[in-house]
Every structure is written in C-alpha cells, then in structure tokens.
Chains A and B, each alone.
Chain A
C-alpha cells in the first residue's frame, strides 16, 4: 500500500458538492481525526480546535463545489481549509501569546479511536502516517523547525528569523530546501 492510493480522490467531495449529505458524513468520518489533530497542533486547545473543526466542515459543505481535482487532492483541499481557519483563529484570539505564557498547558484529547471508517481505510492511513513521519524525520532539524513554525504557528519569515536568531536569508533557504525534500518524498511515494 502506498500513499498514492490514499491521495486518489474518494469522490466524496464531488458528491458533497452535489449536496449529498451521506457523502458529507463519510467525508467527516474519514478525515475529521486528521483535521482535529492538525487543529489541536495549531491551537493547543481542545475547545478552540473543536469549534474551528466545526467551522471548517461547514465551510467544506458550503464551498465543496469550489474543489477542483485538477488543482490538488481532496485531502490537500481539506487540510488547507482547516489550517487556514486554525491560523485565523490563532491570530484573532492571540492564542499565541497565551501559549507562550503557558508552558505547562495540557491538551484534553479523546484518545479512543472510534472511527467509523473501515478497517482497510484505517490500515491505509496508519501506513500513510508511518511513511509521512519517515519523510518528516528525514528532514534536518533546522529545516523542519522552520517549516513547522510557519505551518503550525503561522509565523512569517521575519518572525521565524527573529525567534531563531538567524538571518532572514538563512531561514528562507532552510524552508525552501525543506520543502524541496518534502516534494521529493511526495514524488517517491507516487
């Protein structure tokens, strides 16, 4: 099983675009765990993550007809919506400051995996997760840290440079090299 198999469109979004509520339920059951993990990582707060997850899925329902399979995968479209709303919430509520002042914070999460997707789906995603984590682990720490600060914390290039105490040019180069490696990893999976 390769990552490519899970990147193939399930057709669920196309069905959702037609107003198919069953497809929407299936879409939620398939991707909500991944998107919730992403929002917990961005917001560091279960209550906010749940609210934003709800907002993101409502947006998926209302904007599904804007999804273009030719321009990206189903999963990438969903992730971009959830991440974008997560970063917006992070900025608007200044959660970043709270997080910096709250080193001992704890995230309340539901660890029981009661996914409604099939065993095969779960197996695919477990395998995908292992492959992806391998690709991320292969990145040099400096590149991974810079990418994570941008992707999960919403920091700009200059903010990252300031936080890491490195010149802006160095940070840009690290991020570009890191993205190049991730792109190569993605191609290797396909």
Chain B
C-alpha cells in the first residue's frame, strides 16, 4: 500500500516530468480522491515553475508577436487601433480561420519541401553508393583482366606449390611473369586463418641467406585466396616459395618453420 508521503514523493518527481508512466498514473488516480495529496501535487507543480522563472527573460523577435496575433486573428497594427473599440466577433474569427488556413498551407508546403529534400538526400546517397560500387567492380574487373592476361602470356612460367605436414591437402599455383617481374599466386584448400593471424608468402632467394616477404593474405572458410606479387627478384635469384602462418599483419622473418605450402622454382 502506498502512503500519502510516498504519493507526495511521486508528486515531486511528476512536477519536473520525471515520474514514470506508471507512477504518474498511480498519482493521478490517487489525487482524485485525496484532497491533501492533490494540494501537495499542485504546490509542487507550482514550485517546479521556479526553475523556469529563475531564467533571465529574453524578448522574442517582434515578428513572433505578429505571427502569434495573426494566428488567433488579431490585427497587429496597434497604432491604428482604438483600444476602446470592441472588435466585431465575426471579424476576429474570420481572421482566425484565414490565419489557420494560411498556417495549414504553410505547414503542408513545409512538409512537402522537407519530404522532397529527404528524397533528394536519399537519391544522392544511393547514387554515391552505386558510383562507389561501380568503381569497385571496375577495379576488380581490371585486376581480373590483368591476371588473365598474365596467365595467358607466352612467357608465363607455372610453378606448383604443394601442401606440407600442417596442411597436406593445401596447394597453390604460381603464374610467374619473369619479364614483368610479377607473379600471381592462387591458393586452394588452405585452412582458414584466425582473426589474429595472417598467412605470409616468403621468397627463398638463391642470393640471400634469409627469406624475403612477398606479402600477407587471409584465407576464409572457402580455403581459397590469391595474391599478386610485384617487383619480384629476377627469376634466377628465386630459389623457392613457402607460406607460414604469422601474427596478424605479418613478420619481418618467419617466426616458425611450419610451412603450409612450398615449392621450388
């Protein structure tokens, strides 16, 4: 059972609009039959207005006054009016109706303008999206064309990389363009890497003791990936290729010798 004191506490919250819907409903229902709480509620509501009355007054622009008076059908030009003259009732309501009609028309136009504006913004966003998608597809198309051209080129050399102990079913095919010093590698049946790791392709060089990174790549559940290597060492310096799993983003040098695929050139 809620006490009168508790209802007063609810009325305090309600006075600043902070009572929940249930609390406000319970309060409304109670004060209907409780003059003491109704009085407390009225006092608290009055007290809450002190928050507004403590603000420094700010004079609204004069056109707001004109609009307000036009809205209720009152003539604005005080200078021409005799305050002792009682205005005809029908005149006031005529102006009121006209003003309301104007306001309604203005509101309708404003809504239409806003709707058009929103439509335009949506259309622009869609156009931008399609343009970006088009650019992305064009870029992809160019990349695929370059890959096909590379694969089909007369001087292209094909190298097979085979799965090793950690991924025996994995494989990769390297299409090496010696003249362009470029290679495209297609991987198949590779295990998907976790989010905190990346695969890294290494070039094992004949002229250097340490392997050289040729790039990092990720493999999804499809087990497939491809990577294009530019600025390769000349073919005679490439002894072989191998792939290890490294921390996300790759490493300076292989951190382990668990090769997923590897093969000699």
* Interface, chain A (partner B; CB < 8 A): 7, 19, 21-22, 24-25, 28-29, 32-34, 36-38, 40-41, 49-50, 53-54, 57-58, 61, 71-73, 75-76, 79-80, 83, 87, 109-115, 125, 128-129, 132-133, 135-136, 147-148, 150-152, 154-157, 160, 172, 175-176, 179-180, 182-183, 185-187
Smallest CB separation, B214 vs chain A (Å): 45
Q: Total number of A-B contacts with CB less than 8 angstroms?
A: 169
Q: Summarize A's interface: helix, strand, loop or mixed.
A: helix
Assuming the A-B contacts A179-B47, A185-B47, A185-B50, are A28 and B68 also in contact, with contact meaning beta carbons closer than 8 angstroms in the complex? yes
A109 and B42 within 8 A (CB): no
Q: Summarize B's interface: helix, strand, loop or mixed.
A: helix
A110 and B71 within 8 A (CB): no
A73 and B46 within 8 A (CB): yes
What residues of chain A lie closer than 8 Å to B16, measured between beta carbons? 147, 150-151, 175, 179
A37 and B56 within 8 A (CB): yes
Assuming the A-B contacts A28-B69, A110-B61, A185-B47, are A156 and B54 also in contact, with contact meaning beta carbons closer than 8 angstroms in the complex? no
Q: Give the contacting residue for B52; candidates A24, A38, A186; CB below 8 A.
A: A38
How far is B65's CA from A111's CA once the two chains are assembled, in angstroms? 16
How far is B203's CA from A18's CA once the two chains are assembled, in angstroms? 94
Q: How large is the interface on B (under 10, 10 to 19, 20 to 34, 35 or more residues)?
A: 35 or more
How far is B53's CA from A152's CA once the two chains are assembled, in angstroms? 12
Tell me the B1-48 residues at the A interface (CB within 8 Å): 9, 12-13, 15-20, 42-48
* Interface, chain B (partner A; CB < 8 A): 9, 12-13, 15-20, 42-62, 64-65, 67-69, 71-74, 83, 87, 89, 92
A156 and B60 within 8 A (CB): no
What residues of chain A lie closer than 8 Å to B92, measured between beta carbons? 19, 21
Known: A83-B17, A114-B62, A147-B51; 16 extra A-B contacts, CB below 8 A, are: A33-B58, A33-B60, A34-B53, A36-B64, A37-B52, A38-B52, A41-B52, A54-B67, A61-B72, A76-B49, A129-B53, A132-B53, A154-B17, A176-B12, A182-B51, A183-B44
